[in-house]
Protein backbone atom coordinates (compact mmCIF):
# COMPACT_ATOMS: atom_id res chain seq x y z
CA UNK A 1 0.00 0.00 0.00
CA UNK A 2 1.16 3.52 -0.64
CA UNK A 3 2.52 5.94 1.90
CA UNK A 4 -0.60 8.10 1.36
CA UNK A 5 -3.04 5.32 2.28
CA UNK A 6 -3.41 3.42 5.52
CA UNK A 7 -4.09 -0.31 5.46
CA UNK A 8 -6.76 -1.33 7.94
CA UNK A 9 -7.56 -4.71 9.44
CA UNK A 10 -10.02 -5.86 12.06
CA UNK A 11 -7.34 -5.22 14.67
CA UNK A 12 -6.60 -1.55 13.86
CA UNK A 13 -9.91 -0.39 12.35
CA UNK A 14 -11.58 1.11 15.42
CA UNK A 15 -8.44 2.81 16.70
CA UNK A 16 -7.80 4.40 13.31
CA UNK A 17 -11.30 5.84 12.85
CA UNK A 18 -11.70 6.89 16.51
CA UNK A 19 -10.38 10.44 16.12
CA UNK A 20 -10.69 12.95 13.33
CA UNK A 21 -12.01 12.33 9.84
CA UNK A 22 -11.27 9.06 8.04
CA UNK A 23 -12.34 7.95 4.57
CA UNK A 24 -12.26 4.16 4.32
CA UNK A 25 -12.35 2.26 1.01
CA UNK A 26 -13.71 -1.28 1.29
CA UNK A 27 -12.39 -3.19 -1.71
CA UNK A 28 -11.34 -6.56 -3.10
CA UNK A 29 -8.50 -7.38 -5.51
CA UNK A 30 -10.91 -8.96 -8.02
CA UNK A 31 -13.08 -5.83 -8.34
CA UNK A 32 -12.46 -3.76 -11.48
CA UNK A 33 -13.97 -0.51 -10.16
CA UNK A 34 -11.94 -1.00 -6.95
CA UNK A 35 -8.75 -1.13 -9.01
CA UNK A 36 -9.82 2.05 -10.82
CA UNK A 37 -10.51 3.81 -7.52
CA UNK A 38 -7.14 2.96 -5.94
CA UNK A 39 -5.04 5.50 -7.91
CA UNK A 40 -7.74 8.17 -7.44
CA UNK A 41 -7.46 7.73 -3.68
CA UNK A 42 -3.68 7.50 -3.67
CA UNK A 43 -2.81 10.28 -6.11
CA UNK A 44 -5.71 12.71 -5.80
CA UNK A 45 -7.74 12.36 -2.61
CA UNK A 46 -5.10 11.47 -0.01
CA UNK A 47 -2.70 14.29 -0.99
CA UNK A 48 -5.57 16.81 -1.08
CA UNK A 49 -6.66 16.04 2.50
CA UNK A 50 -3.23 15.20 3.96
CA UNK A 51 -2.79 16.51 7.49
CA UNK A 52 -6.53 17.08 7.83
CA UNK A 53 -8.03 13.61 7.27
CA UNK A 54 -6.92 10.01 6.88
CA UNK A 55 -7.57 7.86 3.82
CA UNK A 56 -7.54 4.11 4.40
CA UNK A 57 -8.33 0.83 2.66
CA UNK A 58 -9.74 -2.47 3.92
CA UNK A 59 -9.42 -5.56 1.74
CA UNK A 60 -12.75 -7.19 2.59
CA UNK A 61 -11.68 -10.44 0.94
CA UNK A 62 -9.30 -10.75 3.91
CA UNK A 63 -11.25 -8.81 6.55
CA UNK A 64 -14.84 -9.73 5.72
CA UNK A 65 -16.05 -8.95 9.24
CA UNK A 66 -15.57 -5.21 8.57
CA UNK A 67 -17.91 -5.42 5.57
CA UNK A 68 -20.46 -7.42 7.56
CA UNK A 69 -20.33 -4.92 10.42
CA UNK A 70 -21.37 -2.07 8.12
CA UNK A 71 -23.80 -4.05 5.97
CA UNK A 72 -21.68 -3.71 2.84
CA UNK A 73 -23.16 -5.67 -0.06
CA UNK A 74 -21.05 -4.31 -2.96
CA UNK A 75 -17.55 -3.01 -3.48
CA UNK A 76 -16.13 -0.51 -3.71
CA UNK A 77 -17.92 1.02 -0.76
CA UNK A 78 -16.51 4.13 0.85
CA UNK A 79 -17.26 4.90 4.48
CA UNK A 80 -16.67 8.37 5.87
CA UNK A 81 -16.18 8.65 9.63
CA UNK A 82 -15.85 11.59 11.99
CA UNK A 83 -14.57 10.79 15.46
CA UNK A 84 -15.57 7.14 15.09
CA UNK A 85 -19.11 7.84 13.86
CA UNK A 86 -20.19 6.88 10.34
CA UNK A 87 -21.40 10.05 8.61
CA UNK A 88 -21.64 8.93 4.98
CA UNK A 89 -21.58 5.75 2.90
CA UNK A 90 -20.96 5.76 -0.87
CA UNK A 91 -21.23 2.72 -3.11
CA UNK A 92 -19.44 2.37 -6.44
CA UNK A 93 -16.70 4.24 -8.21
CA UNK A 94 -16.56 7.89 -7.14
CA UNK A 95 -14.63 10.81 -8.59
CA UNK A 96 -11.72 12.24 -6.68
CA UNK A 97 -13.37 15.65 -6.56
CA UNK A 98 -16.59 14.20 -5.09
CA UNK A 99 -14.61 12.37 -2.41
CA UNK A 100 -12.58 15.45 -1.50
CA UNK A 101 -15.80 17.49 -1.20
CA UNK A 102 -17.34 14.81 1.03
CA UNK A 103 -14.30 14.79 3.31
CA UNK A 104 -14.10 18.59 3.46
CA UNK A 105 -17.80 18.80 4.34
CA UNK A 106 -17.17 16.97 7.63
CA UNK A 107 -13.84 18.52 8.57
Catalytic residue numbers read: 31, 34
For 35-48, letters b (16+ CB in 10 Å) and e give eebbebbbebbbeb
Cα–Cα nearest to 84, from 27, 25, 19, 37: 19
Based on its alpha-carbon atoms, the radius of gyration of the chain, rounded to whole angstroms, reads 12
Amino acid sequence: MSQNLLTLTTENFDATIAEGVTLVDLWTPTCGPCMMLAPILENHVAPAVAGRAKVAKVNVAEWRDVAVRFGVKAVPTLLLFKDGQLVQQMVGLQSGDALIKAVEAVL
